Every structure is written in C-alpha cells, then in structure tokens.
Structure 1
Amino acid sequence: MNKYFATLALACITATSVSAAELPERIKSAGKVAVANQPNYPPMEYKDPATNELKGLDIDLGLALAKQLGVKVEWADIGFEQMIPSLTTGRVDLIHSGMSDLPKRRDTLDFVDYMKSGAQFYVSFARRDEFKAQTDLCGKTIGMSRRTSFPDETAKWSAANCEAAGKPAIKVVGTEGSADARAQLKQGRVDAAVQGSETIPYLMNLEKDTYAVIGEPFTAVYQGIGFAKKDTELRDAYAGALKALIESGEYKKIFASFGLEAAMLDGIYINGEAAK
C-alpha cells in the first residue's frame, strides 16, 4: 500500500467526529452493521458462561465504533475459516474477530488496524523449569490453532532458530482452535502451545499457576477489522470512527479495562501502514 492510498483512505475523516453520512447507503438504510465474530478467543471475544452474553475487547470496541457511526451491531457467529467467504458474498459487512492483518489476506480484504499482537510460546506451569529459553522448545511438540497463521510462523521460527543451529525441528500440531491447544497441553499431548500475546495475561489470571510464557512474542503483527476490497466507503468510515475514539480517550479506556494498554496503536493504520 503506497502513501497516496493511505492518504486517500482517510480523506473524509474529520479531527473530531464521524457522521453517519459517511456510511454506505445500505448501512444507513439498515441502521446496523452485520459483523462476523467467533466468541472463542478471550479476552478478545467470548461468551460469559453465566449469562451467555458476548464480552471482550473486540465486542466493546465494535460497539463503541458503531455508536460513533450511529448504527447498531448485529453480531454473526461464524467459524473463522468461513469469515472471509461470508464477507465477500455479502452475508456480513465486516470482520471484527481477532484477525491478523496479514499480507496474504490483503488480496481479498482491506484492514483498519486497531492493535498490536504477536505469537507467544507458553507451557504448563508445572513444566516451566524445563524451558528456560525458547530454543529449549526445539524438537518438542507444540499445539496451535490450524485456522491461524501460527503454524506457518512457528515453522519459520523453527527453521531459523532450531534447524539452522543443528537442533531438531519443532513438531507443529494444528488444533481445532486455541481452546483445543490448551486442552492438549493440560493432557500432556503437546509440550507447549502458541497463542496471541494479547490472550496470555487473561488466561494466566483466569487459571492461576496453570501456564507459563517462554520468552517474548516471536512475531509482530497488527490485528485489523476486515472489509471487502470494494467497500472503501465503509472502511474509511470505520477508520474515522476509530480516530475519533482515540482522540476522545475511549479507545484507551477500552484497552485499559482489559489490561492491554501495551497493545494499543499510536494512530490510524490501514493495511499495516500509518495513514497520513
């Protein structure tokens, strides 16, 4: 994405607020946006086990963005692998569900980025002393959701840090989501697991003395709200709404409520590049 495109993407954004007039006519007429989200990735999105209510950072931010735009949110619980097809066929208007803004996804989507993330190795708390460094994971079996970029990223890390040093490769196990990876870790079926760095503090607080992180995140990536390539008007409206939330302090308030201030961005980024 060149700087001209980044500038064009925010051409209609004011410094103070965003009006519903900037939304596509179909959204204004409906008074709502249909948003793909799968609530199985706490603290980003999950269902309260007591009330079945949707909660999480993505939920709070999504509602705040919609309010800024003067519309309501209609959440669509869609499997991660079906989100992009659902967007491109018009079943939903956008994707807001802990999706990484990856170059290979930009052939189909445009992203308005809203936070930093990274792939993080972690092990069971009981085995933490076995893994003092990330390279102690070489040759071990590591579980991670097959629906994410983690398997490819872990294989690349292994090639550069294990095989290149003459150590055995990590054995990547694709699981049916992050919850399955955690279950296999607890059962001893894998030696370690990988999840987004934004989720680990929440898990460690929820389940005391259950997990231990190994080193720092080994990738750096933005999480983004995904829009169909043709839907530039809606993308730009959301970029403007996010800008307004950042300036008002509500963006920071939402992230602080989940203890994720370190994951905040310093401005508006579209497809991984700062918008000027």
Structure 2
Amino acid sequence: MGNNMNRHLVMLAALCVAATAANAEGLPERIKSAGKVVVANQANYPPMEYKDPATNKLMGLDIDLGLALAKQLGTTVEWSDIGFEQMVSSLTTGRVDLIHSGMSDLPTRRDTLDFVDYMKSGAQFYTSFARKDEFKKPTDFCGKIVGMSRRTSFPDETAKWSAANCEAKGLPAVKVVGTEGSADARAQLKQGRVDGAVQGSETLPYLLSLEKDTYTVVGEPFTAVYQGIGFAKKDTELRDAYAAALKALMASGEYKTIFAKYGLEGAMLDGIYVNAQAVK
C-alpha cells in the first residue's frame, strides 16, 4: 500500500514537472533560469492596476491577467513599479522583461516595441454629473477646456478629433489641457478648472461605480485602439510565448472570467492580435 502510494506520488510529481516544463518550453533561457518575468507596471489606472487603499495590495485586470499568463507559462511575476515615461527605456535596457500597464498599441510605439494585444479601448469624453445637461454630445466640448493625462496619446487624439469635428465645422477648437495623470484631470474637473475630461473607456465603468453621481459619460469613445503587452523588438521568443499563453487562457475561459470580474466583457478580443494584426 505504502509503496503504491509512493509510486503514485512520484508519478504525479513527474507529471507536474513535465507539465510545467512543457508550459515553459517557449520561454527564453534567461526567464527559465530566473524563474520569473520582471514586469513594468504603474498602479495608478483603476480598474486596470491600482493598490487596495486598505491593504496596499496590487490589484486590477492587468494584475490578474499578468499572473494568469505567467502561471500558464510555468513562471512567476515580479512587478516593477516604474513611471509610464520610463517604461520603454527600462524594457530596451533590460531592466524589465515586458510592459503590462494599460498601454495602448499605437503605430508610433511599434518602432521600438511589439505588442500582444489583449483588449479594446478608446478615448472617452466625460464631465461632472452636475453639468450633464450642458454636455449632451461630444461636440458640446468645442471651445471648452478639457483635461487629460499628458503621458497618454489622448491629447493628440483629442486635438485630431477637434480638428475634424469642431474646427472643420466652423466651431471653436477644444482647449486641450495636459494633466499629471487621469486622477489630476478628475481633481481639476471637480474644482471647475476644466469643463470636461478624457480617459480610457475601460476605466469609466469602475469610476462611475466608485463615485456615484459624480461624473457622466458623454457620447461613445471617439477612438478605437487595442491595449497591449509590450515586448522589446528582439524578444520575439517571449512575445510568442505570451501570445500562446493568452490563446490558452481564452480557450479555457479564464480570460473571460477575469474580464467579467471587472464588468469589461465588452472590451474582450475575439482572438490573438500582435501589433493590431490578427494571427492564427
């Protein structure tokens, strides 16, 4: 009985080792030997990444997905809290292995990065709940002061939208104000220093549930982009391993479970996209 049990345990352990080895097969040697991926992330973009105010624990969709992907690959995650502006240089100099931090997969970023896309996003106008009757549609922001994080693509995208939807129709331009982040834009909105704000459509349902009757969304997102996990151009092995892991999470249903937890099923992708191109 004892010998049979021992043999069974040995076989089980061997199967577990084999499964982990199979999962880790696509990983670069440096990741296998380190037993971890170092991931750039800045926890200031709820519900994608944030710290629980009570426990200071790292939470969010990106965190849950990042941990699930690493587990699928048979490795662990070391989160590296790095300012958004420093993330690309940290990746290209090898301080981190990848970026997973609410980053948009933009053509301008593909000169230095490859992206494995994992969700849809878009720039979204919103204003304070008290001014909801004043701003019924996006063009009501023509000639108004609108705040948004200067670290993002939103200032450029809003200026382009304004050129096509305000100036081209003889209306005054949106006055774009770059802020120190989306939290700063919201603070300025509450203080009445800006008339409206722009941030990622995926963050607003969380924001509206957190602060009832504080903000109101105006119109639909005015851009359509993918959010992606960023890899150094030369790191194709790690990129492809992550794409395969994401495909496995989609097939198992875990991908959907993570998005449903944050009420973001509408932001899910229907397959694997690298640099915004569908791949088999």
Point out which structure has higher relative CO (alpha carbons under 8 A, 6+ apart): 1
What is the DSSP-based 3-state SS (H/G/I as helix, E as strand, rest coil) of the residue aligned with 2:38? strand
Matched, 1:242 2:246: yes
Matched, 1:252 2:271: no
Matched, 1:123 2:127: yes
Within a 5 Å distance, the mapping from 1:4-15 to structure 2 comes to: none
What amino acid sits opposite 1:75 in the alignment?
A: W
| Residues 179-203 of structure 1: per-residue CA shift (max 9 Å, x gap) | 0000000000000000000000000
- 1:14 matched to which residue of 2? none
- 1:12 matched to which residue of 2? none
What is the DSSP-based 3-state SS (H/G/I as helix, E as strand, rest coil) of the residue aligned with 1:107? coil
| Residues 149-174 of structure 1: per-residue CA shift (max 9 Å, x gap) | 00000000000000000000000000
Structure 1 CA distance for aligned equivalents of residues 49 and 266 of structure 2? 18
- 1:204 matched to which residue of 2? 208
Question: Out of 154, 173, 179, which is 2:177 matched to?
Answer: 173
Deviant stretches of 4+, over 3 Å: none
Q: 1:34–1:74: 8 Å Cα contact kept in structure 2?
A: yes
Q: 1:18–1:240: 8 Å Cα contact kept in structure 2?
A: no
- 1:91 matched to which residue of 2? 95
- 2:64 matched to which residue of 1? 60
Percent identity over paired residues: 84
Structure 2 CA distance for aligned equivalents of residues 270 and 259 of structure 1? 24
- 1:7 matched to which residue of 2? none
Bigger radius of gyration among the two: 2
Question: Out of 55, 71, 74, which is 1:70 matched to?
Answer: 74
The number of aligned residues is 260
Structure 1 CA distance for aligned equivalents of residues 214 and 277 of structure 2? 37
What is the DSSP-based 3-state SS (H/G/I as helix, E as strand, rest coil) of the residue aligned with 1:199? helix
What is the DSSP-based 3-state SS (H/G/I as helix, E as strand, rest coil) of the residue aligned with 2:117? strand
| Residues 76-126 of structure 1: per-residue CA shift (max 9 Å, x gap) | 000000000000000000000000000000000000000000000000000
Q: CA RMSD in A?
A: 0.9
Q: Which runs of 5+ in 1 are unaligned?
A: 1-16
Within a 5 Å distance, the mapping from 1:1-276 to structure 2 comes to: 19-276=23-280
Q: Which runs of 5+ in 2 are unaligned?
A: 1-20
| Residues 230-249 of structure 1: per-residue CA shift (max 9 Å, x gap) | 00000000000000000000
What amino acid sits opposite 1:270 in the alignment?
A: V
Shift of 1:18: 6.3
Shift of 1:257: 0.3
Structure 1 CA distance for aligned equivalents of residues 196 and 238 of structure 2? 40
What amino acid sits opposite 2:258 in the alignment?
A: I
Structure 1 CA distance for aligned equivalents of residues 258 and 53 of structure 2? 21
Shift of 1:132: 1.2
What is the DSSP-based 3-state SS (H/G/I as helix, E as strand, rest coil) of the residue aligned with 1:136? helix
- TM-score calculated relative to the size of structure 2: 0.92
Q: 1:35–1:92: 8 Å Cα contact kept in structure 2?
A: yes
Q: 1:18–1:241: 8 Å Cα contact kept in structure 2?
A: no
- 1:6 matched to which residue of 2? none
Query: Aligned in 2, Cα 1:183/1:18: closer, same or farther, shift over 3 Å?
Result: farther
| Residues 187-220 of structure 1: per-residue CA shift (max 9 Å, x gap) | 0000000000000000000000000000000000
Structure 2 CA distance for aligned equivalents of residues 218 and 44 of structure 1? 20
- 2:17 matched to which residue of 1? none
What is the DSSP-based 3-state SS (H/G/I as helix, E as strand, rest coil) of the residue aligned with 1:266? coil
Structure 2 CA distance for aligned equivalents of residues 200 and 211 of structure 1? 9
What is the DSSP-based 3-state SS (H/G/I as helix, E as strand, rest coil) of the residue aligned with 1:98? coil
